[in-house]
A and B are shown apart, each in its own frame.
Chain A
């Protein structure tokens, strides 16, 4: 199997972008990544697109061909593949593309992720997101997507004494990071009081415990490591990847406060990369709700189980803390265009490892990690990234 590196990255602004269509966003991100990589159209072997639900959000299926077409690649007749894995689709697309290059089948692949969520109302958008949970045995009975994560939060509070203030600290931190990211949907800091006094969505989670609905896209260009230096002096190698699944419905899981899929994916990715959690300096983790980041930093092995809340309050996961978590602002502040998430996380880590993250740069970062979830944790993907020099 060949080593694979990221040689180019691009992303759009994230937000409620009324004047931008799905294709506008996908193409902007893709072209930025291709320009950053300095590859020509003729050198691209395939296109992978992470997208969760264009069919429901914009009535458009078959977005793989659409993206290749509007990227000006129609005449090349490239294989274009759409990948769906709930909220993890971008991360799964990245893994599939990595394997396509590692196998020797392709040399250069563009991986995009995009979602256009604001062409439907927010109640409908929330229902579409809930489609990644178990429709027949959760949603039909009134369990909303936020409600399912709220039940994890309630149980985490019960077992470990986690407080609403500790959950809120995740939102405050990620907004602080988002304020440093010019592409973030929310670029303003918020206070603990703002989070705690916000209207309830699904108790114990309030409005500011939830990531927003967003439009946006991100893209990376992958290249076989042996050819990467023709294009860049700072190839970022994907040193390890792991993907895992679990019971679809939350109630069937072994433990409501541990995501076994995260643990399995992390174990596989770190083993392949031959690193330990303490070797990672910067991580983008799935924080669609504040509780999700608490679970993620625990299950990824960054902090002890049950200690995610206190660790966040103490600043261990803040920019240039013990491990910098969600320097982009995370899903919470950068925004959550679902299909784009896994790819946008990779873009942030590449910028950090290149030393191009500006005001939110993690000092001396050489190794990063992304963690992406589908549904309430029935899919998890972890990638480990390392400077190639």
Chain B
């Protein structure tokens, strides 16, 4: 992956910068120019919004067949997490045994290495999720 391709997404990958619609208040991640719910009414009204990093697991999978750059990590867990702000995002779930992962589990983002360019190239960083506390009440 070319360095600029990763570098230009750093605000979102490092600091969870998304957008909030000035029309309906919905939060999107990654940033959008147009709110999917409001369309034209949202143009020019999308402001930067940083996610809290807290959310709950909506679904997950345990990856056994992995692309070459994830070879050393397998098996690993990926999850779709519904963030406090309502938006859902996908990443790895770490610091937990696959057998202990549950839908509804509370998680928090953690800053981690995502990958690197070959053996000696640039390292990419971003968010993963790790568990926090017991499952939230009324989880999705």
Chain A residue, CB-CB nearest to B76: A142
Whether A155 sits at the interface, judged by CB under 8 Å, is yes
CB distance from A204 to the nearest CB of B (A): 7
**A141–B90 CB distance below 8 A:** yes
Whether A127 sits at the interface, judged by CB under 8 Å, is yes
Contacts of B42 in A (CB 8 A): none
Docked complex: B24-42 residues within 8 A CB-CB of A: 30, 36
Contacts of A158 in B (CB 8 A): 59, 103
Selected from A138, A146, A153, the residue in CB contact (under 8 A) with B90 is: A138
| A137-B90, A141-B92 known; A123 vs B59 contact (CB < 8 Å) | no
Docked complex: A198-213 residues within 8 A CB-CB of B: 199-205
**A144–B103 CB distance below 8 A:** no
User: Number of A-B pairs whose CB atoms are under 8 Å?
Assistant: 102
- A contacts with B: majority SS: helix
Task: Report the bound CA distance from A146 to B70 in whole Å.
Answer: 14
Docked complex: A246-275 residues within 8 A CB-CB of B: 247, 249-252, 256
Q: 1/0 contact trace for B44-68 toward A, CB 8 Å?
A: 0000000000000011111111111
Whether B84 sits at the interface, judged by CB under 8 Å, is no
Whether A310 sits at the interface, judged by CB under 8 Å, is no
**B90–A251 CB distance below 8 A:** yes
**B78–A136 CB distance below 8 A:** no
Whether A152 sits at the interface, judged by CB under 8 Å, is yes
Whether A332 sits at the interface, judged by CB under 8 Å, is no
Whether B130 sits at the interface, judged by CB under 8 Å, is no
* Residue of B9, B36, B88, B98 with most partner-chain A CB within 10 A: B88
| Tier of interface size on chain A | 35 or more
**A140–B88 CB distance below 8 A:** no
- B contacts with A: majority SS: strand
Contacts of A200 in B (CB 8 A): 62, 64, 75
Q: 1/0 contact trace for B1-37 toward A, CB 8 Å?
A: 0000000010000000000000000000010000010
Q: 1/0 contact trace for A100-132 toward B, CB 8 Å?
A: 000000000000000000000001001100100
Selected from B64, B73, B78, B103, the residue in CB contact (under 8 A) with A143 is: B78
| A140-B114, A141-B126 known; A154 vs B60 contact (CB < 8 Å) | yes
Q: 1/0 contact trace for A72-97 toward B, CB 8 Å?
A: 00000000000000000000000000
Selected from B9, B79, B98, the residue in CB contact (under 8 A) with A136 is: B9
**A252–B88 CB distance below 8 A:** yes
Task: Report the bound CA distance from A204 to B68 in whole Å.
Answer: 21
Task: Report the bound CA distance from A204 to B65 in whole Å.
Answer: 12
Whether B91 sits at the interface, judged by CB under 8 Å, is yes
Contacts of A27 in B (CB 8 A): none
Whether B89 sits at the interface, judged by CB under 8 Å, is yes
* Residue of B30, B59, B64, B68 with most partner-chain A CB within 10 A: B59
Task: Report the bound CA distance from A151 to B90 in whole Å.
Answer: 10
**A203–B90 CB distance below 8 A:** no
Contacts of B76 in A (CB 8 A): 142
**B90–A136 CB distance below 8 A:** no
**A155–B58 CB distance below 8 A:** yes
Selected from B61, B66, B89, the residue in CB contact (under 8 A) with A251 is: B89
Q: 1/0 contact trace for B102-115 toward A, CB 8 Å?
A: 01000000000011
Which residues from chain A sit less than 8 Å from chain B, CB to CB? 123, 126-127, 130, 136-144, 146-148, 150-155, 158, 199-205, 247, 249-252, 256
> Given known contacts A136-B30, A143-B63, A151-B79, what 17 new A-B pairs fall within 8 Å (CB)?
A127-B67, A140-B126, A141-B91, A142-B73, A142-B76, A142-B91, A144-B66, A147-B78, A150-B61, A150-B62, A154-B59, A155-B103, A199-B64, A201-B65, A202-B63, A256-B58, A256-B59
Which residues from chain B sit less than 8 Å from chain A, CB to CB? 9, 30, 36, 58-68, 70, 73, 75-76, 78-80, 88-92, 98, 103, 114-115, 124, 126, 128
10 nearest A-B pairs in the assembled complex, by CB-CB distance: A150-B61, A203-B62, A251-B88, A155-B59, A141-B91, A151-B59, A200-B64, A147-B61, A201-B65, A251-B80
